[in-house]
Structure 1
Amino acid sequence: MDHIPLSHEASAGDCNKQTTSTLPPEVDNCLVNARFLHLATCTNNTPHVSLMNYTYLPPNTSPYSPEPLIIMTTNPSSKKWTNLSSNPAVSLLVHDWVSHRPPTSAGRRLSGGSPAPEHRSSLASLLLNLNTSAVSSISATISGEARLVAPGTEEEKFYREAHLENNTFEGEEGPSFGGRRESVVPAAAPAERRGSNEQDDEDVRVIVVAIRDVRISDWKGGVSDYVLVPSGENGAGVNGM
């Protein structure tokens, strides 16, 4: 029976460091398919973590930057915006692990949560494990500096529209993390968006983070670091620059 490691490999310094001109495929796939990420900000030595909707723009898909980008929105009265205004350093965590907690080998929850699920047949357990393995592999930590896009600019309009399109789903009203839900309505109703929600839209600010380095952790405890460099400068191999 597989079980998670109680600790990952030593990661205080660089871990299996590599330089690359493109994101590792598993990170690109994770950013394309995950719905939320965790945004960590800090000011006065007090950290703050927010669950955020986000939009991933692959390299050269933005007219304003050739780098891969993470787009988020918030209102200027939020804690994260206050932190970023004084300290733009951020850490982002995105993963493809499922949130479902499988039963333990003891068949009980030590935390005193919900009762243990009914016993599954061997076939049901096999299918569950196969499904979990297929979607549960890595977490990616992205470190960098957030840029607060100037409001009212064409750049802000471009990122806001891309973020709205990426986070409007059938049967939902729009993004619910990182901004006011009522300030974003489905793209299928532009007249409605321009009408009653026009004032709320003025309170939304755009945050852009360029992806320049990534740390990948897998469920077995392995850790690898990647530094993105412009195409043509990728002269280093594994374990060093």
Structure 2
Amino acid sequence: MSCTEKFPPHLFELIKTSKYVHVATCSKDCIPTVSLMNYIYVPVDKSYRKGEDVNNKDSIVFATLTNTEKYRNICDNPKVSLLFHDWITAKNLSVRKHSLSQSSTPDNNGETQEHPSKLLNLLQELNQAELFQMSANLRGSASVINPFSDESKYYKDLLLKVNPDAHIFIQHNDTVIVKVQIESAKVSDTENNTRVYN
């Protein structure tokens, strides 16, 4: 059984709807670095291989440039740590993104409909938001997808669908797709309760 099958609904909600994830990597010389990244959560049944993966693990997918410290670290040491934490939540808060099943749809002209100013919406909705008191640290093994493969195109398309505001970065010529298979999770709350999922 995959560890994600044991995740409670509130943890899935955090992973599926957070706008960014903090990605921690470490060089072969044990020098750590942390990056804030756009990402998508990909369950096994939506992966490129659609269940053919012998490890049967859900994944976090993001794009990175090949000239970054993060990329070099992943090539040298594929073990990564991912931190998810939403300081504010509201069901329709503008800084949150849509999941793959909730992303915006094109209008009759084929153009994706844009939301009003995110900052304005955030300020208007802030008073209605509640503090979210949980953070999750996921650990996994990262692999770089061949940038010329159909698999890379598949995940880039998913990233663009969920993160259209990052299109310049995702479609850059020197960007590669990184897929992190989730191996474990540790969830903590503001009352110092911690739970581990393996």
Compute the TM-score of the two structures, normalised by the length of structure 2.
0.71
Q: Tell me which of 175, 194, 197 is aligned to 1:223.
A: 194
Q: Which residue of 1 aligns with 2:87?
A: 97
The 1:22/1:154 distance shift into structure 2, 3 A limit, reads: farther
Contact 1:70 1:211 in 2 (8 A): yes
Q: Cα RMSD (Å) of the superposition?
A: 2.2
Cα distance in structure 1, aligned partners of 2:4 and 2:62: 25
| Stretches of structure 1 lacking an aligned partner (at least 5 in a row) | 1-18, 100-126, 169-173, 176-180, 185-199, 228-241
Q: More strand per residue: 1 or 2? A: 2
1:63 is aligned with what amino acid?
Answer: Y
Structure 1 residue 29, shift from structure 2 partner: 0.3
What SS does the corresponding residue of 1:201 show, helix, strand or coil?
coil
Cα distance in structure 1, aligned partners of 2:190 and 2:158: 32
Q: More helix per residue: 1 or 2? A: 2
Per-residue deviation, residues 77-125 of structure 1 (Å, max 9, x unmatched): 01100111111110000012239xxxxxxxxxxxxxxxxxxxxxxxxxx
What SS does the corresponding residue of 2:23 show, helix, strand or coil?
strand
The 1:149/1:138 distance shift into structure 2, 3 A limit, reads: same
In the TM superposition, what are the counterparts of 1:171-190 in structure 2 within 5 Å? 174-175=165-166, 182-184=168-170
Q: Tell me which of 54, 58, 65 is aligned to 2:39.
A: 54
1:205 is aligned with what amino acid?
Answer: V
Cα distance in structure 2, aligned partners of 1:163 and 1:226: 26
Structure 1 residue 26, shift from structure 2 partner: 1.4
Q: Is 1:149 matched with 2:145?
A: yes
Q: Tell me which of 209, 213, 226 is aligned to 2:184.
A: 213
Structure 1 residue 58, shift from structure 2 partner: 2.4
Per-residue deviation, residues 117-147 of structure 1 (Å, max 9, x unmatched): xxxxxxxxxx95x8324xx121110011111
Higher relative contact order structure (alpha carbons within 8 Å, sequence separation ≥ 6):
1
Structure 1 residue 75, shift from structure 2 partner: 0.8
Compute the TM-score of the two structures, normalised by the length of structure 1.
0.59
Q: Which residue of 1 aligns with 2:134?
A: 138
Q: Percent identity?
A: 31
Cα distance in structure 1, aligned partners of 2:197 and 2:188: 12
Q: Is 1:85 matched with 2:75?
A: yes
The 1:48/1:163 distance shift into structure 2, 3 A limit, reads: same
2:65 is aligned with what amino acid?
Answer: N
2:179 is aligned with what amino acid?
Answer: V
Q: Which residue of 1 aligns with 2:30?
A: 45
Cα distance in structure 1, aligned partners of 2:33 and 2:136: 18
Cα distance in structure 1, aligned partners of 2:195 and 2:6: 15
Q: Which residue of 1 aligns with 2:17?
A: 33
Cα distance in structure 2, aligned partners of 1:59 and 1:27: 17
1:74 is aligned with what amino acid?
Answer: T
Cα distance in structure 1, aligned partners of 2:169 and 2:86: 28
The 1:144/1:183 distance shift into structure 2, 3 A limit, reads: closer
Q: Which residue of 2 aligns with 1:196?
A: none
Q: Which residue of 1 aligns with 2:99?
A: none
| Stretches of structure 2 lacking an aligned partner (at least 5 in a row) | 90-125
Cα distance in structure 1, aligned partners of 2:22 and 2:129: 24
Contact 1:60 1:67 in 2 (8 A): no
